[in-house]
């Protein structure tokens, strides 16, 4: 096991509620704290920062192991959470406290942040200029406890806010990849296509991973985005792969499903918009109480000893 190389990264991306979840469950992330930075007033309160008179911005401070999850990957995630062309705030939240910024803590972070900003500008993905600030870090003040891990504590309201603010739609419209049906029919077998593109369900107890005994992670069969790990898989007795949590909830979307005369919460992949399965609240209580019931046909399994050759070596830390 390698020695930890702990660093701190600070990002302002509008409402800090929405900037914890994308980083929180990544490998090598030790802690994500919501707070305030950029201004000169010590120990500001939420109400004071919201007046847009303190100079502070809502931000997150991420403690991470750079030997597992390098700063470049954090930057890549950061850009995908924000509208980097908005100089007046983020989505429905307006004012100085909601402006975006990368606050660098070292000269190397400054260099990498400026390079990544330039790469985004040169990509032509956005027609407007990239206006996110790259600034030296100032003292970071943790926010009140009620704002910490808000996406976990107030899951329903958080999802409503993320959608209602316009952030969720912006991310989907700008970062989700479009896959043509003809292309997918060539790359997926019939059951994989039926499940992911036609909201199908495979037969229980006769699918590929329902009783998998190997260690490894599961990725989206369409996009290749990591979704689940065997460290969170358990036998729920239902005949499909079941998990207590995803690798990162930000890689999934959830929506009401009223098909077949039932009311269920459907789980889809964020990037490919593939149907994966459903999530229920009858999972192990000591693991959070959730059961993600997922079709094997929506997944591709990568064994632990194959992670490195698939560019997923960061996830080896899950099995140490």
Q: Which residues are catalytic?
A: 15, 293
Provide φ and ψ at 149, rounded to 5°: 50, 40
CB 26 within 8 A of CB 248: yes
Q: What is the DSSP letter of 263?
A: -
Nearest Cα to Cα of residue 7 among 100, 103, 82: 103
3-state helix, strand, coil in the chain (%, to 5): 35, 25, 40
Q: Which two tokens stand for residue 246?
A: 């995803």
Bridge partners, 173 (sequence order): none
Report the first-to-last Cα separation within the chain, whole angstroms. 7
CB 56 within 8 A of CB 41: yes
Rounded CA separation 254/103 (Å): 32
Provide φ and ψ at 277, rounded to 5°: 165, -140
Q: Where are the beta strands (DSSP E) in the chain?
A: 6-12, 29-37, 57-65, 89-90, 93-94, 101-104, 133-136, 141-142, 216-220, 226-229, 233-234, 242-243, 252-257, 264-269, 275-280, 291-294, 299-303
Q: Are strands 133-136 and 101-104 parallel, antiparallel or unpaired?
A: parallel
């Amino acid at each position: 096991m390698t020695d930890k190389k702990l660093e701190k990264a600070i990002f302002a991306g509008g409402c800090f509620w929405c900037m914890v979840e994308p980083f929180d469950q990544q490998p090598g992330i030790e802690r994500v704290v919501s707070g305030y930075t950029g201004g000169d007033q010590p120990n500001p309160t939420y109400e004071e920062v919201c007046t847009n008179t303190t100079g502070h911005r809502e931000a997150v401070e991420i403690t991470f192991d750079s030997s597992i999850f390098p700063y470049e990957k954090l930057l890549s995630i950061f850009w995908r959470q924000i509208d980097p062309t908005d100089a007046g705030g983020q989505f429905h939240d307006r004012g100085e406290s909601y402006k975006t910024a990368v606050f660098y803590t070292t000269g190397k972070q400054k260099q990498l942040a400026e390079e990544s900003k330039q790469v985004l500008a040169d990509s032509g993905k956005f027609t407007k200029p990239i206006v996110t600030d790259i600034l030296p870090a100032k003292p970071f003040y943790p926010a009140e406890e009620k704002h910490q891990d808000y996406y976990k504590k107030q899951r329903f309201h958080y999802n409503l806010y993320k959608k209602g603010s316009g952030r969720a739609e912006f991310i989907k419209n700008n970062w989700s990849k479009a896959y043509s049906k003809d292309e997918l029919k060539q790359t997926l077998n019939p059951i994989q296509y039926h499940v992911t593109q036609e909201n199908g369900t495979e037969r229980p107890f006769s699918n590929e991973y329902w009783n998998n005994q190997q260690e490894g992670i599961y990725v989206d069969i369409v996009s290749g985005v990591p979704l689940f790990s065997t460290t969170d898989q358990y036998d729920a007795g239902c005949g499909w792969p079941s998990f207590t949590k995803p690798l990162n909830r930000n890689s999934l979307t959830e929506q009401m499903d009223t098909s077949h005369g039932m009311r269920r919460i459907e789980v889809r992949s964020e990037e490919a918009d593939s149907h994966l399965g459903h999530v229920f609240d009858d999972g192990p209580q000591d693991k959070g109480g959730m059961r993600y019931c997922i079709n094997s046909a929506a997944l591709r399994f990568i064994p632990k000893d194959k992670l490195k050759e698939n560019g997923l070596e960061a996830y080896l830390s899950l099995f140490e």
